[in-house]
């Protein structure tokens, strides 16, 4: 189970290693050729290549972490063709919506991952996952992400330099896809999200503590993974370039 999820993770990691193994000038050229930006919208390949390029090891780590947890859940629901269709349409929607608000280049699989999350939060809100080390219902984690990203779209897009609006666009693409696939089930499962919102309001400090501890642990893992990824890229660079 999760075969396509693992293939996508491996593909993203391999591309990251190849790009970051390049000499700096060549790596800059690769980013310029593969990233998407609205002024280059007619260079259609960028809409797809940008989804597999990541700006840093941390960017890659957190996207692949989300892909691992949400991708496996969605693969249980969709056949391979529909899974890939959702993945890429959510990513494309994220890039295009971001292009409406900024001419800056954008890279990464964030829109794709948020699309999978949006689908999963509607179809399997009660599914327990350990994204923050401690097991929590998928619906609660998704609601927290949705709230944070919505706030960042309003306040932090320019300051952070992160394409938060692409995340939100990808998420809504996933939600819309869930309703298109099975409207009755999606509507019924959405009632759980209402209950989870109430629980979050009542037990906000508890979930804040859990997420705070989880973020500390994930930060430590991210640091170690970064050392490994950059070290491997440097080794590949010695061999290839």
pTM of the model: 0.93
Using CA atoms, how far apart are residues 45 and 234, in angstroms rounded to an integer?
27
pLDDT, mean over the chain: 92
pLDDT in tens, 88-137: 999 999 999 999 888 889 999 999 999 999 999 999 999 999 877 778 89
Q: Which of 54, 164, 167, 177 is catalytic?
A: 167
- pLDDT score at 212: 87
Average pLDDT over residues 191-199: 94
pLDDT in tens, 172-189: 999 999 999 999 999 999
Q: Which of 95, 110, 164, 177 is catalytic?
A: 110
User: Pairing between strand 128-132 and 134-137?
Assistant: antiparallel
Q: How confident is the model at residue 158 (pLDDT cuts 50, 70, 90)?
A: very low
- pLDDT of 157 strictly over 60: no
Between 225 and 241, whose confidence is greater? 225
Average pLDDT over residues 58-66: 95
Q: Is 59 a catalytic residue?
A: no
pLDDT in tens, 38-49: 898 889 999 999
The ranges assigned to domains in the chain are: 3-240
Q: What is the DSSP string of the chain?
A: --HHHHHHHHHHHHHHHHHHHS-HHHHHHHHHHH-B-GGGTTSTHHHHHGGG--SSHHHHHHHHHHHHHHHHHHHTTS-HHHHHHHHHHHHHHHHHHHHHH--S-B-SSHHHHHHHHHHHHHH-TT-EEEEESEEEEHHHHHHHHHHHHHHHHHHTHHHH---HHHHHHHHHHHHHHHHHH-HHHHHHHHHHHHHHHHHHHHTHHHHHHHHHHHHHHHHHHHHHHHHHHHHHHHHHHHHH-
- pLDDT of 24 strictly over 50: yes
Q: Report percent pLDDT > 90 for the chain.
A: 76
Q: Is 54 a catalytic residue?
A: no
Q: How confident is the model at residue 156 (pLDDT cuts 50, 70, 90)?
A: low
CATH number of 3-240: 1.20.1540.10
């Amino acid at each position: 189970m999760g075969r396509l999820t693992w293939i996508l993770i491996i593909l993203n990691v391999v591309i990251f290693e190849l790009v970051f193994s390049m000499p700096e000038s060549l790596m800059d050229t690769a980013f310029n050729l593969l990233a998407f930006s609205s002024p280059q919208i007619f260079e259609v390949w960028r809409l797809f290549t940008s989804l597999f390029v990541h700006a840093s090891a941390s960017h890659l780590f957190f996207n692949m972490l989300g892909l691992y947890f949400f991708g496996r859940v969605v693969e249980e629901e969709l056949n391979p063709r529909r899974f890939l269709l959702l993945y890429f349409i959510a990513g494309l929607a994220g890039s295009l919506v971001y292009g409406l608000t900024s001419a800056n280049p954008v890279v990464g699989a964030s829109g794709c991952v948020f699309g999978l999350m949006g689908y999963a939060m509607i179809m399997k809100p009660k599914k327990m996952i350990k994204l923050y080390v401690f097991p929590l219902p998928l619906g609660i984690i998704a609601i927290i992400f949705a709230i944070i990203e919505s706030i960042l779209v309003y306040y932090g897009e320019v300051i952070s330099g992160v394409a938060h609006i692409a995340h939100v666009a990808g998420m809504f693409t996933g939600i819309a896809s869930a309703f298109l696939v099975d409207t009755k089930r999606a509507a019924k499962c959405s009632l759980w999200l209402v209950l989870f919102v109430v629980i979050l309001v009542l037990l906000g400090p508890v979930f804040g503590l859990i997420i705070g501890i989880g973020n500390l642990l994930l930060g430590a893992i991210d640091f170690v993974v970064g050392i490994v990824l950059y070290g491997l890229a440097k080794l590949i660079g010695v061999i290839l370039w």
